[in-house]
Amino acid sequence: MTQSSDRRRVVVTGHGVVTPIGIGVEEFWSALQKGECGIGQIQSFDTDDLQIKIAGEVKDFEPRERLDSKQLLLADRYSQFAGYAARDAVAQSGLEVPLADDKAYRSACVIGTGIGGITTMEFSYKMLFREGKRATHPLTLLKTIGSSAAAHVSIEYGIKGPCYGVVSACSTAPHAIGNVYRMIREGLIDLGIGGASEASLAWGTTRAWQAMRVLSPDGIWPFSGNRNGTVLGEGAGILVLEELEHAKARGATILAELVGYGMTSDAADMVNPSIEGASMAMQIALDDARLSPGDIDYINAHGTATTVNDINETRAIRRVFGKDAEKLSISATKSMHGHLLGAGGGIEAVAAIQSMRDNFVPPTIGYAEPDPECDLDYTPNEGRKREVTYAMSNSFAFGGLNAVLLFGPAPA
């Protein structure tokens, strides 16, 4: 993949998360290091007539206590998650907000979602069809649309450049972050907020997922021989990205450099992932970063704990990394926070960045027995210290939509 030698470098100056194992990066990362599990019995809706009764729910998120924005208080839960994660990321970045006009039009906000305000829509349908109401709440449409989180965040911080949502199922967050990365690298903007949010835990959504027979009634155990499906979660993961010299000029603390981005489509099947599409996305990210497989220390795997996905991801890694696959540390943090759908790759990107900053690989918990077809080092059950210079984050979505982010150390 040929790249210009004078392309602009892109760095991370802020990150924020809302997750089932912690709100805020410090709490989230501490839980990952300890191998804490955020999966439990669903509390937010009645599951008596459901086969699936577990999920990764965000706990202790009371909007009126967490948010000071009147607009976000009237928003759907997914926009509220995005707003809170963005608030943390922007605060950490040290940006002066709202942005002045000379910076506002040179900034972007790309925040996606896999499903959007589905809880608002389900509530509205209940009002109309079960309770016989004649109308829904007047903000129903604005709360539901998949670009509302991006719009809310752009309003909060005065971002007047490109602003939109991205929808690509479980690859939404890295596609959003990758969009901001490319815009900065190519000179369209100097800084941007990118990531995704999801709050799709509701009775109807769970019934839809249940019908696909990909959910586990027991737990999520990626790459383990006894795995029997994935577990839904909710939350948000947001990064602040900047052009390197822009960040240096204002004295920002740089957390990491986003050095590579790859995306492909399987163009084959809506459900079953391909080895070729996943491996090509990883290879494109490596080529984009001008790195070789032996340079990578850690992969935060997509690792959904479905039978085919885990086997194919393992085979794809082996195809790309060859003999260097044996030296990799891999983990599937979904084992702790669940599958956050569109937001998953956002919080997993944060986990990858933190692994480099602390030289620590979080575990894949719930690993009970080996699967001969999943034969790499998945950091079973306990995290470990190791030097992590470059970290990769994989997202491989329904429809064969693949996106890979590759992070490196903060430039000196």
The question of whether 302 is a catalytic residue gets the answer yes
The question of whether 137 is a catalytic residue gets the answer no
List the catalytic residue out of 37, 337, 339, 374. 339
The question of whether 337 is a catalytic residue gets the answer no
For the CA atoms of the chain, what is the radius of gyration? 20
Conformation bin of residue 213: beta by default, left when phi > 0, alpha when psi is -120 to 50: left
List the catalytic residue out of 15, 152, 302, 337. 302
List the catalytic residue out of 170, 175, 246, 337. 170
Tell the burial category of 134 from Cβ atoms under 10 Å away from its Cβ (0-12, 13-18, 19+).
exposed
CA distance 170 to 168: 6
Number of Cβ within a 10 Å radius of residue 213? 9
The catalytic residues are 170, 302, 339
